């Protein structure tokens, strides 16, 4: 038999239908056996392999669920091989071990990958770090044959694996099954040992062909009515199967108690994965509600299980099912979120950070604000390590939950290096009452290394009045060499707005030549061009003879590029005296 005759054609390679990257993140329940990071990654990869291999017993190979699981298997295995190098798994009757750490445990013989490998003689599987995807896909084909039960009487796993001719996958096996390595069974019942051991042989001709019947009856077929065929096909449609899976979970939870409940919860977890792939968020809510009701007698266990079930993928699916303009949180979803407020709030904050200014941002913000009733300190703790759009979203949330804490965090954010966060801090401080702390924060923003932040902060600071004028003057005098034309204009206007009298006095000090009399009139203006622009920008909006005389000074002795602007400002002033 040729090596390829025992293996069906490979299923469709993963394509755009496979779940997004976030769906490939290992869930907390998949880590329950592993310890070290290497073992954790191996645990997740082996579970992805078993799920993909078992999927052929439930779905057609071309089904989108199978493609999604194959893509999951590919990404998990590449992650462990690329991240930790070669993977060596020791095979035991019901376990796969990485060194001394168990990375797979399943005692159900029908489901256990370890049992199938061990039964056929495999004792170790080794994957090289550069194992190709073609070889991993070939391994998946071989294991799917053993799960589906196709031609198991012809070749066992060891034969199929050796026929495959792997280069990156090495198989250590024994010839045949070794009984003493199997877990020992208990002794026979004493009553059975005392029973009769008489032999009862079949008749000598029992296996011969049956004699022909004297009267032959023709085989007749009855046509099945179209409506009956339609009902039969309808039992397996994509719309009916998810609902039937949910009903199965409900029936099992109603009839199960004690230790068997964990087995049912494991089955319910697989149903959850199926509903996530099928994007049936409406049924996800019902499923989580059933689990919560089953655990109602043990609140602490209920919290732990629900926090595991309401992971990032599940929450994303539940939120995506809501309309962005949803006026309020639906009662059924609010009830579930309240049942597990701890980790759920962190995950909702992550979703809001990812959403940014997207259409569902208002809805997610309401969900987070609602969740903060149970853990108001969560946002403040997250703020310490947040950057970029995530920090902006958290600061806005904090303003809704705790305005006083938001102002304090905004002042701290003014010293950050992130321009987005500084702009949000400025927005928070703009409407706050004046205080030394607020003034200090605004001064930090005026001194920011980001020019757009400085341009936005100058008018906000100027609105605080004469108290901030010294800081504005110091800013211009200290950074005159670096001021752009735009910032010089903004600084001059801010000084004039903060205090018109102090601005005119300062501009006069900058523009008038040192020394008076005739010599002073003959000496050209010594102020730097950028300082002249600051003064010109401020003088445009000021009234009075002093301001007019300073404009005339710039128009006559100022920088050549500024004289025309100064003359235009003089011409625009009202005739007949100073304005106001």
Asked whether the predicted pLDDT for residue 3 surpasses 80, the reply is: no
Confidence of residue 291 (pLDDT cuts 50, 70, 90): confident
How far is 408 from 431, CA to CA, in rounded Å?
A: 14
Asked whether the predicted pLDDT for residue 44 surpasses 70, the reply is: yes
The listed range with the strongest mean pLDDT (97-106, 345-354, 385-394, 556-565) is 97-106
Per-residue model confidence (pLDDT) at position 84: 92
User: What are the tens digits of pLDDT across the range 208-237?
Assistant: 676 777 777 777 888 888 888 888 887 777
Mean pLDDT of 3-8: 39
Instruction: Indicate the DSSP class of residue 527.
Output: S
Per-residue model confidence (pLDDT) at position 89: 94
Per-residue model confidence (pLDDT) at position 151: 47
Instruction: Indicate the DSSP class of residue 180.
Output: G
Instruction: Indicate the DSSP class of residue 466.
Output: G
Query: What is the dihedral angle through the alpha carbons of 101, 107, 110, 114, rounded to the nearest 10 degrees?
Result: 20
Instruction: Indicate the DSSP class of residue 126.
Output: E
Q: Per DSSP, which regions of 403-458 are E strands?
A: none
What is the 3 state secondary structure string of 185-205?
Answer: CCCCCHHHHCCCCCCCCCCCC
Confidence of residue 274 (pLDDT cuts 50, 70, 90): confident
Give me the long-range contacts of 522-531 (CB less than 8 A, separation at least 24). Answer: 524/557, 525/553, 525/554, 525/557, 525/558, 528/480, 529/559, 529/561, 529/562, 530/480, 530/481, 530/483, 530/485, 530/488, 531/476, 531/480
- Angle of CA points 69, 70, 75, to nearest 5°: 95
The Cβ of residue 245 has, within 10 Å, a number of other Cβ atoms equal to 21
Structure tokens, 391: 């920090």
Look at 56-60, 322-326, 532-536 and tell me which has the smallest mean pLDDT: 56-60
User: What are the tens digits of pLDDT across the range 137-151?
Assistant: 888 888 887 665 544
Per-residue model confidence (pLDDT) at position 21: 38
426 touches 447 (CB < 8 A): no
Confidence of residue 109 (pLDDT cuts 50, 70, 90): confident
How far is 386 from 390, CA to CA, in rounded Å?
A: 6
Per-residue model confidence (pLDDT) at position 277: 81
- Facing residues of 89 across strands? 125
Confidence of residue 155 (pLDDT cuts 50, 70, 90): low
User: What are the tens digits of pLDDT across the range 12-42?
Assistant: 444 434 444 333 444 444 444 557 889 888 9
Q: Please enumerate in sequence order all residues whose Cβ is within 8 A of that of 265, keeping only pairs 6 or more positions apart, or say none.
A: 291, 294, 305
Asked whether the predicted pLDDT for residue 165 surpasses 60, the reply is: yes
CB-side neighbour CA atoms (13 Å) of 3: 11
How high does pLDDT run on average in the chain? 76
Q: Please enumerate in sequence order all residues whose Cβ is within 8 A of that of 83, keeping only pairs 6 or more positions apart, or say none.
A: 41
Structure tokens, 526: 């010594």
Asked whether the predicted pLDDT for residue 152 surpasses 60, the reply is: no
Mean pLDDT of 415-430: 85
How far is 73 from 45, CA to CA, in rounded Å?
A: 7
**Across the beta sheet with 95-98, what order do the strands follow?**
101-105, 95-98, 87-91, 122-127, 169-173
Per-residue model confidence (pLDDT) at position 257: 66
Of 375, 371, 457, 351, the closest CA to residue 413 belongs to 457
User: What are the tens digits of pLDDT across the range 119-142?
Assistant: 888 999 999 999 999 999 888 888
Per-residue model confidence (pLDDT) at position 303: 58
Per-residue model confidence (pLDDT) at position 86: 93
The Cβ of residue 388 has, within 10 Å, a number of other Cβ atoms equal to 13
Look at 12-26, 239-253, 403-417, 518-532 and tell me which has the smallest mean pLDDT: 12-26
**How many residues does the structure list for the chain?**
580
End-to-end CA distance of the chain: 105
In b/e form, how buried is each residue of 525-545, taking b as 16+ CB within 10 angstroms?
bebebbbbbbbbbbbbebebe
Q: How do beta strands 87-91 and 169-173 pair?
A: unpaired
Per-residue model confidence (pLDDT) at position 218: 78
User: What are the tens digits of pLDDT across the range 441-465?
Assistant: 888 888 888 889 888 888 988 888 8
Of 412, 447, 411, 414, the closest CA to residue 432 belongs to 411
Mean pLDDT of 419-435: 85
531 touches 495 (CB < 8 A): no
Structure tokens, 42: 């191996």
Measured CA to CA in angstroms, residue 107 lies from 72, 95, 104, 110, 345 at distances of 24, 8, 10, 9, 36
Return the residue matching tokens 């950057």. 387
Per-residue model confidence (pLDDT) at position 570: 84
Per-residue model confidence (pLDDT) at position 544: 85
455 touches 494 (CB < 8 A): no
pTM comes to: 0.47
Look at 197-211, 253-267, 318-332, 361-375 and tell me which has the smallest mean pLDDT: 197-211
How far is 116 from 147, CA to CA, in rounded Å?
A: 9
Instruction: Indicate the DSSP class of residue 458.
Output: H
Q: Which residue has the higher pLDDT, 46 or 379?
A: 46
Per-residue model confidence (pLDDT) at position 198: 55
Asked whether the predicted pLDDT for residue 434 surpasses 50, the reply is: yes
Structure tokens, 456: 């936005």
How far is 294 from 128, CA to CA, in rounded Å?
A: 45
Q: Helix, strand or coil for residue 183?
A: coil
How far is 272 from 266, CA to CA, in rounded Å?
A: 10
Mean pLDDT of 157-175: 84
- Facing residues of 104 across strands? 96
- Angle of CA points 355, 361, 363, to nearest 5°: 135
Asked whether the predicted pLDDT for residue 249 surpasses 80, the reply is: yes
165 touches 152 (CB < 8 A): no
345 touches 372 (CB < 8 A): yes
How far is 573 from 550, CA to CA, in rounded Å?
A: 13
Per-residue model confidence (pLDDT) at position 465: 86
Per-residue model confidence (pLDDT) at position 26: 41
- 470: enclosing H helix or E strand: helix 469-479
The Cβ of residue 445 has, within 10 Å, a number of other Cβ atoms equal to 23
Q: Helix, strand or coil for residue 541?
A: coil
């Amino acid at each position: 038999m040729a090596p390829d005759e025992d293996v069906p054609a490979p299923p469709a390679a993963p394509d755009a239908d496979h779940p997004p990257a976030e769906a490939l993140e290992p869930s907390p329940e998949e880590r329950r056996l592993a310890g070290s990071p290497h073992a954790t990654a191996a645990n997740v990869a082996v579970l992805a392999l078993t799920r993909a291999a078992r999927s052929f017993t439930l779905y057609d190979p071309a089904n989108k669920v199978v493609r999604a699981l194959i893509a999951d298997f590919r990404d998990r295995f590449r992650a462990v091989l690329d991240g930790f190098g070669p993977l060596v798994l020791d095979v035991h009757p019901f376990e796969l071990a990485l060194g001394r750490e168990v990375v797979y445990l399943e005692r159900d013989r029908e489901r256990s990958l370890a049992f199938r490998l061990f039964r056929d003689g495999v004792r170790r599987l080794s994957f090289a770090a550069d194992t190709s995807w073609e070889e991993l896909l070939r391994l998946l084909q071989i294991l799917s044959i053993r799960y589906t039960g196709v031609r198991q009487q012809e070749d066992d796993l060891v034969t199929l694996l050796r026929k495959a001719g792997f280069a990156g996958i090495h198989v250590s096996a024994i010839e045949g099954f070794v009984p003493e390595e199997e877990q020992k069974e208990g002794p026979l019942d004493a009553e059975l040992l005392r029973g009769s051991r008489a032999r009862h042989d079949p008749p000598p001709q029992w296996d011969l062909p049956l004699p022909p019947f004297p009267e032959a009856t023709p085989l007749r077929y009855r046509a099945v009515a179209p409506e009956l065929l339609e009902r039969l096909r309808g039992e397996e449609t994509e719309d009916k199967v998810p609902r039937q899976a949910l009903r199965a979970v409900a029936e099992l939870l109603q009839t199960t108690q004690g230790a068997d409940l964990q087995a049912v919860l494991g089955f319910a977890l697989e149903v959850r994965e199926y509903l996530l792939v099928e994007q049936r968020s409406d049924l996800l809510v019902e499923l989580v509600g059933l689990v919560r009701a089953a655990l109602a007698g043990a609140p602490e266990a209920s919290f732990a299980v629900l926090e595991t079930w309401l992971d990032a993928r599940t929450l994303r699916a539940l939120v995506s099912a809501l309309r962005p303009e949803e006026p309020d949180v639906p009662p059924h979803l609010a009830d579930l979120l309240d049942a597990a407020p701890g980790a759920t709030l962190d995950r909702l904050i992550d979703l809001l950070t990812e959403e940014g200014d997207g259409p569902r941002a208002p809805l997610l913000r309401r969900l987070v604000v609602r969740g903060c009733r149970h853990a108001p300190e969560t946002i403040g703790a997250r703020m310490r390590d947040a950057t970029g759009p995530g920090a902006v979203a958290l600061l806005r949330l904090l303003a809704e939950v705790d305005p006083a804490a938001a102002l304090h965090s905004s002042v701290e954010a003014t010293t950050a290096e992130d321009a987005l966060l500084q702009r949000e801090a400025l927005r928070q401080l703009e409407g706050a009452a004046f205080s030394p702390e607020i003034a200090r924060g605004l001064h930090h923003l005026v001194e920011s290394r980001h020019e757009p932040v400085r341009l936005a902060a100058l008018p906000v600071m100027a609105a605080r009045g004469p108290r901030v004028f010294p800081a504005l003057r110091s800013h211009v005098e200290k950074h005159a060499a670096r001021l752009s034309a735009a910032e010089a204009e903004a600084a001059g206007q801010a000084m004039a707005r903060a205090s018109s009298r102090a601005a005119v006095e300062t501009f006069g000090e900058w523009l008038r030549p040192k020394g008076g009399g005739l010599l002073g009139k003959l000496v050209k203006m010594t102020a730097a061009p950028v300082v002249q622009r600051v003064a010109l920008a401020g003088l445009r909006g000021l009234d009075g003879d002093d301001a007019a005389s300073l404009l005339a000074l710039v128009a006559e002795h100022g920088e050549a590029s500024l004289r025309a602007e100064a003359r235009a400002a003089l011409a625009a002033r009202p005739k007949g005296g100073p304005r106001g």
